């Protein structure tokens, strides 16, 4: 029994030529398939494994653990809360300091201040480096026996404690991570500003708006799509932070992050599915902002 | 755990068949190996470390000697040691090299139970009386009584210092017999503007050496071993005592303990910046690589007695050796190479290449030992009980993820001790049964 609606759909499908259909299925089908195989399948397995005990070798050794791994993490592992704290500090720092700084820089450079190309290049340079490389560079600079210590005339015996000094190491790590993040945000925002209709700015100037009013009332709201992307990038980058800290501290959890804990319990000598549970916690924390972002995007499309 | 039949783990063979028959080929050659056939074929070998390290050159020298003897080519590749250890289980389940340097204790036994390592009992037998009963015992997996590692070298964890520094300070470290003597030595070094007791714990394992020896000195080897295997409690007053002693050393430590790793500790000693350092003496190769003068200046003594009941009767002396991957392409070849490493010819090749390690084999002529090696032997000889080091004496999912951070937390905030120990015990209790 065919209803009119179904007929309509069938007809509209027919309007695609064979070539179109092939291209479409290739362009949508193959990435989807790869995504399912390499992303969704492992994710699903990780979620299931987080409810088990296993040492990672023989599948027959997997034992059901129920919520034991999660109970262990939430109730028994103080290092989890240290990691959560560090992730939150990272997130707050990026959201309220690094990202606004990037936006400020983009705004200034967009006004073509004198020598802006030179500044742009300087701030953009760290963006081409991965966080792992940035970790290697700054570890080399700041560690005992490192370059900066050498310049200060400190040898390894009396080197200024930086990575192991808990009243400053978080700030140093944040500063190093921001070194790249600021340039990244600057670049994204600058691209957005280039597309900004300058007549809006002129109009607000004619109406007697101050610079700050123009930015807050005109530019910032108009840039909403870019703002959302930047916010999501900031949140996800903060929660998936790993490589920089791993390069500096290795698997020792001297400055723990959720992903470092996942890695330490997954890789290393003692493989336990506590690592899977850590991954799932990090995943849930990441998925929420992604969902908000997607909802936003779809809402806009519907409008 | 794994059903063993003719030296082939059934499970590993099945898995091999699933992967693509590689395991079956290995199994077949394993059976053939029973008939004393000459082993042939290329052998793949993993060097843990950088090719530029002193250790890598020694590895290559021994492998070259094997090729010269048997005509079998050895293809060596260097892999970052931390990466190799962290990804060990994954590497062993993929396409591992046939043989590699490995560590006896939990790290071998647990992986053997999972069917990842090949049984080398026949090779241990072939090496015969050159291996002492204690060495074989140390390399034996208690689960099935077989060996999965050919023990080659071991090294003592002890107090290291430089003779020249001590002379300058007018100290005689041979006389550190008691805890008070050690504190006095630390005090004197500190007064001269040097680090009294060098420690780094950025890696999270370095300070385990200090914990181990304090526990063994205060409470004895049996308590230490039982604690690491869940038969004693971390909240015990005896454990509190261990950390109290560690706390007494903190004022004499470098102020950047959590900034430096073992190589930082080594450099402190190498650059004459510290008095005593508790460390495994494997790093002596680096002193020798720097200069013979530095090497000759290096000395080791046992950690002093604290509790007269236990004296200096225990020591951490991790046993190293060569293991063979069960999933390698040439398991027989790997075993043959491993056996060569334990034989007189293998040891001679290593020593000729500048190895300063202590070989466990009696085929190795100790009369050729230099003064430092003789002293290492004396330090080892002073002990009756031998531990393998914390991260090899206890479960891998406990040592690194739990004890490591616990000691780091203590070094950060010694006042939190009660909380730290309670949490450590709670985390042991939460571990799944093996």
Comparing A85-89, A134-138, B24-28, B411-415, which segment has the lowest mean pLDDT? B24-28
pLDDT at B121: 94
Of the residues A49, A50, A51, A58, the best mutation for testing chain B's interface (the one with the most B CB atoms within 10 Å of its CB) is A58
pLDDT above 50: residue A277: yes
DSSP alpha helices (H): ranges in A54-197? 68-71, 78-93, 99-110, 116-124, 131-142, 147-151, 169-194
Domains and CATH numbers, chain B: 4-153+319-363 (3.40.190.10), 157-316+380-429 (3.40.190.10)
Token pair belonging to B314: 């225990």
pLDDT at B52: 79
State whether ipTM is beyond 0.95: no
* Nearest residue of B to residue A67, measured between CA atoms: B430
CA distance B296 to B407: 33
DSSP state of B4: E
Contact present, B199 and B265 (Cβ < 8 Å): yes
Contact present, A248 and A163 (Cβ < 8 Å): yes
Residue whose pair of structure tokens reads 């040592």 in the numeric block = B399
Torsional class of B354: left (φ above 0), alpha (ψ -120 to 50), beta (otherwise): left
How far A262 CA lies from chain B's nearest CA (Å)?
Answer: 10
Residues of B in contact with A251 (CB under 8 A): 82, 86, 204, 400
CA distance A271 to B94: 16
Averages of pLDDT over each 10 residues, chain B, 434 residues = 37 38 38 56 91 86 94 92 86 93 92 93 90 87 93 93 91 88 93 93 93 96 94 96 96 92 92 93 87 94 94 92 94 94 92 85 82 91 90 91 94 94 93 82
Find, among A166, A160, A178, the residue nearest to A244 by Cα: A178
pLDDT at A99: 94
Q: Which residues contact B348 (CB under 8 A, 6 or more apart)?
A: B65
Secondary structure class of B309 (helix, strand, coil): coil
Contact A155 B110 (CB under 8 A): no
Q: Which residues contact B51 (CB under 8 A, 6 or more apart)?
A: B78
Mean pLDDT of A172-187: 94
CA distance B406 to B219: 20
* Nearest residue of A to residue B272, measured between CA atoms: A157
CA distance B217 to A245: 36
pLDDT above 50: residue A78: yes
Residues of A in contact with B397 (CB under 8 A): 265, 269-272, 274
Confidence band of A259 (pLDDT split at 50, 70, 90): very high
Contact B256 A159 (CB under 8 A): yes
Contact A161 B203 (CB under 8 A): no
Confidence band of A287 (pLDDT split at 50, 70, 90): confident
CATH 3.20.20.20 fits A77-302, yes or no: no
Find, among B236, B420, B427, the residue nearest to A75 by Cα: B427
- Pairing mode of beta strands B385-387, B314-316: parallel
CA distance A135 to B152: 37
Q: Return the number of CB contacts < 8 Å for A and B.
A: 148
Q: How far is CA A8 from CA A1, A3, A11, A56, in A?
A: 14, 9, 5, 52
Nearest to A156 among B257, B267, B427 (CB): B267
Contact A253 B401 (CB under 8 A): yes
CA distance B188 to B171: 8
* Nearest residue of A to residue B258, measured between CA atoms: A164
Residues of A in contact with B85 (CB under 8 A): 268-269
Nearest to B257 among A164, A272, A274 (CB): A164
Q: Which residues contact B213 (CB under 8 A, 6 or more apart)?
A: B157, B278, B303, B314, B315, B316
DSSP state of B325: B
* Nearest residue of A to residue B433, measured between CA atoms: A53
Residues of B in contact with A83 (CB under 8 A): none
């Amino acid at each position: 029994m065919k209803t009119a609606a179904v007929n309509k759909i069938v007809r509209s499908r027919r309007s695609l030529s064979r070539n179109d259909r092939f291209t479409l299925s290739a362009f949508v089908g193959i990435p989807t398939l790869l995504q399912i195989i390499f992303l969704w399948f492992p994710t699903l397995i990780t979620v299931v494994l987080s409810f088990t005990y296993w040492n990672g070798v023989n599948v027959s050794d997997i034992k059901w653990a129920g919520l034991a791994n999660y109970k262990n993490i939430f109730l028994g592992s103080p290092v989890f809360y240290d990691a959560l704290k560090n992730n939150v500090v990272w997130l707050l720092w990026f959201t309220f300091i690094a990202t606004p700084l990037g936006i400020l820089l983009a705004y200034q450079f967009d006004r073509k201040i004198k020598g802006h190309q030179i500044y742009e290049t300087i701030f953009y340079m760290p963006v081409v480096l991965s966080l792992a490389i940035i970790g290697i560079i700054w570890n080399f600079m700041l560690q005992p026996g490192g370059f900066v210590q050498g310049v200060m005339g400190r040898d390894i015996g009396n080197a200024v404690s930086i990575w192991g000094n808990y009243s400053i190491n978080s700030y140093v790590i944040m500063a190093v991570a921001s070194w790249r993040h600021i340039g990244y945000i600057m670049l994204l925002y600058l691209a957005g500003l280039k597309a900004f209709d300058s007549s809006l700015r002129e109009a607000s100037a004619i109406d007697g708006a101050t610079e700050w009013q123009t930015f807050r009332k005109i530019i910032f709201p108009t840039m909403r799509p870019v703002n959302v992307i930047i916010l999501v990038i900031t949140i996800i980058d903060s929660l998936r932070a790993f490589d920089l800290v791993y390069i500096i501290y290795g698997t020792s959890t001297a400055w723990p992050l959720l992903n470092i804990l996942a890695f330490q319990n997954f890789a290393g000598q003692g493989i336990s599915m506590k690592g899977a549970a850590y991954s799932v916690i990090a995943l849930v924390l990441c998925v929420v902002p992604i969902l908000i972002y997607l909802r936003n995007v779809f809402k806009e499309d519907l409008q | 755990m794994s059903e063993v039949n003719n030296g082939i783990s059934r499970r590993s063979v099945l898995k091999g068949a699933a992967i693509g028959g590689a395991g079956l080929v290995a199994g077949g050659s394993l059976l053939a190996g029973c008939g004393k056939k000459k082993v042939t074929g290329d052998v793949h070998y993993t060097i843990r470390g950088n090719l530029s390290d002193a250790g890598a050159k020694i590895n290559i020298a021994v492998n070259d000697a094997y090729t010269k003897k048997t005509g079998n080519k050895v293809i060596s590749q260097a892999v970052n040691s931390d990466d190799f250890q962290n990804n060990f289980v994954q590497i062993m389940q993929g396409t591992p090299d046939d043989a590699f340097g490995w560590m006896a204790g939990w790290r071998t036994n647990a992986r053997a139970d999972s069917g990842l390592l090949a049984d080398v009992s026949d090779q241990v037998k072939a090496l015969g009386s050159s291996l002492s009963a204690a060495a074989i015992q140390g390399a034996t997996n208690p689960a099935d009584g077989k060996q999965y590692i050919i023990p080659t070298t071991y090294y003592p964890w002890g107090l290291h210092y430089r003779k020249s520094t001590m002379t300058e300070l007018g100290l005689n470290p041979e006389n550190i017999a008691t805890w008070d003597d050690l504190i006095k030595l630390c005090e004197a070094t500190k007064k001269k503007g040097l680090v009294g007791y060098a420690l780094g714990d950025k890696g999270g394992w370095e300070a385990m050496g200090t914990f181990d020896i304090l526990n063994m000195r205060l409470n004895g080897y049996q308590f230490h071993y039982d604690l690491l295997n869940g038969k004693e409690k971390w909240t015990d007053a005896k454990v509190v005592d261990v950390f109290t002693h560690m706390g007494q050393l903190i004022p004499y430590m470098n102020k950047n303990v959590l900034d430096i790793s073992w190589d930082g500790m080594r450099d402190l000693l190498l650059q004459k910046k510290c008095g005593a350092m508790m460390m495994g003496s494997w790093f002596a190769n680096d002193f020798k690589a720097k200069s013979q003068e530095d090497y000759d200046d290096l000395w080791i003594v046992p950690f002093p007695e604290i509790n007269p009941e236990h004296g200096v009767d225990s020591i951490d002396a991790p046993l190293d050796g060569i293991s063979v991957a069960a999933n390698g392409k040439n398991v027989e070849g790997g075993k043959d190479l491993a056996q060569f490493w334990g034989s007189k010819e293998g040891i001679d090749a290593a020593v000729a290449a500048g190895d300063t390690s202590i070989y466990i084999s009696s085929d190795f002529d100790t009369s050729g030992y230099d003064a430092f090696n003789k002293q290492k032997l004396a330090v080892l000889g002073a002990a009756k009980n031998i531990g393998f080091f914390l991260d090899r004496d206890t479960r891998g999912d406990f040592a690194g993820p739990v004890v490591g951070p616990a000691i780091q937390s203590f070094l950060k905030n010694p006042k939190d001790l009660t909380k730290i120990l309670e949490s450590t015990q709670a985390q042991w209790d939460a571990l799944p049964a093996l």
